[in-house]
Chain A
């Protein structure tokens, strides 16, 4: 158990809908990262937050947004969902922005029908 929690574990929804994925980092970790794992794209970095501030953006679609709250949990919002958004979404945390290992949560498997 990495200490990173993600909810829900599974999510099935329809095209055009909006969903929110939630992540709680390990106790004391200030950095939260979101990744998407799909069959065609592999593991892709989406976005990084450190202590509530956005630090870096990767291949994140405009339909996707994220935020980190004062209690350090983070939410990834996916809207206008398309079939191609079906993937495993991981949250990871680390104590600092740089130089430290990222510990991954169990992931949220999103299926868009």
Chain B
């Protein structure tokens, strides 16, 4: 089974509108972290936001918020007031086993390409 599933290959949003990018995950660990990264056409991977499995509140970073629904194993990224510069690939990722001393890798989804239009 896929550890991270991003079902939207591509999304369009109008400038200044909000958009939600979906991410579901699969893990049996109790302690894990969920991340979102942005990859513009230039190629770099930019960290956006982090949510720990024990965090009670949804994470927010400026215009980014993470809608964390633990029971549904979903960690959707919400971008408010979209800007043209938000056009990019967005990757959801997970680190498992955070409390075991063995957490290491990030497991990534396949990404969602977001296009912001005028």
Contact = CB atoms under 8 A, between A and B. Distances in A.
Interface residues of B, number: 26
A45 B105 CA distance: 6
A101 B111 CA distance: 18
Helix, strand, loop or mixed for chain A's interface? strand
A48 B50 contact: no
Contacts, number: 64
Interface residues of A, number: 24
Contacts of A88: 43
Interface in B94-110: 95, 97-108, 110
A109 B43 contact: yes
A35 B91 CA distance: 14
Nearest to A109: B43
Interface of A: 2, 33, 35, 42-43, 45, 48, 55-56, 58, 88, 90, 92, 97-99, 101-107, 109
